[in-house]
């Protein structure tokens, strides 16, 4: 069996570079961050497979390609304050933290937030702040943000997230139904917001005040 390092190298070459991920900084981070640490022990041998994996409480760690694609779409230079919605086990937050100055990540499930905090602390991340709350309304007390990444599917772009996006900032969010979405990028220039659509994707639903009410989900 290949080592985790070997599997991670193959993942970057076969799943990311071959599909058009070209930002060298993103590729290098995906080579460094140990995805296997963020999945349950019984799934670690699948850590670098081309798929999302369950992490408990009905949630998943995103497919590596989707993590890279969404991260690349933010165009991070290293100086940004980033808001992530949907911490999960913390993998996406770790990737963002390698490319930005500060990451605030919001998870509505306390047990998952605690798990993510433990993993991220053990790996030595000090620029990630894990918060328990309703991510669909963002984090007004810490706004504005240079970049916002939503790792859950929403029925529309939450108005709160639009307001919390800094001038020149970018918001990446899956928009669609509870079972299928289109990756959407929102860019703010002054008071103007411009949206563009990209690839189809499937994320767990964004549940909350400006997302999906839990009672409406299938």
Active site residues: 62
Residue 134's CB is within 10 A of a number of other CB atoms, namely: 17
The CA radius of gyration of the chain, in Å to the nearest whole number, is 16
* Residues facing residue 186 across a β-bridge: 171, 195
Give the distance from CA 40 to its chain's centroid.
18
Contact status, residue 87 vs residue 116, Cβ threshold 8 Å: yes
- Within 10 angstroms of residue 101's Cβ, the number of other Cβ atoms is 14
Residue 81 Cα distances to 39, 167, 184, 213, angstroms: 26, 13, 20, 29
Q: How many whole angstroms separate alpha carbon 10 and alpha carbon 138? A: 35
**Structural contact between residues 143 and 131, judged by C-beta atoms closer than 8 angstroms:** no
What the block records as the tokens of 94 is 């770790």
């Amino acid at each position: 069996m290949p080592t985790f390092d070997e599997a991670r190298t193959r993942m970057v070459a076969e799943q990311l570079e071959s599909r058009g991920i070209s930002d060298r900084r993103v590729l290098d981070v995906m080579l460094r961050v140990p995805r296997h640490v963020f999945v349950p022990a019984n799934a670690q041998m699948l850590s670098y497979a081309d798929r999302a994996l369950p992490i408990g409480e009905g949630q998943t760690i995103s497919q590596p390609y989707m993590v890279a694609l969404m991260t690349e779409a933010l165009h991070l230079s290293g100086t940004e304050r980033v808001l992530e919605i949907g911490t999960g086990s913390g993998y996406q937050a770790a990737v963002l933290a390698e490319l930005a100055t500060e990451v605030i990540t919001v998870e509505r499930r306390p047990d998952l937030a605690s798990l993510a905090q433990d993993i991220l602390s053990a790996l030595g991340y000090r620029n990630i702040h894990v918060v328990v709350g309703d991510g669909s309304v963002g984090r007004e007390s810490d706004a504005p943000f240079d970049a916002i990444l939503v790792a859950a599917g929403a029925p529309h772009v939450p108005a709160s997230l639009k307001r919390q996006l800094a001038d020149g900032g970018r918001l990446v969010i899956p928009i669609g139904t509870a079972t299928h979405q289109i990756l959407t990028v929102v860019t703010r220039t002054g008071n103007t917001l411009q949206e563009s659509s990209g690839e189809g994707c499937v994320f767990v639903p964004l549940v909350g005040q400006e997302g999906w009410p839990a009672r409406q989900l299938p």
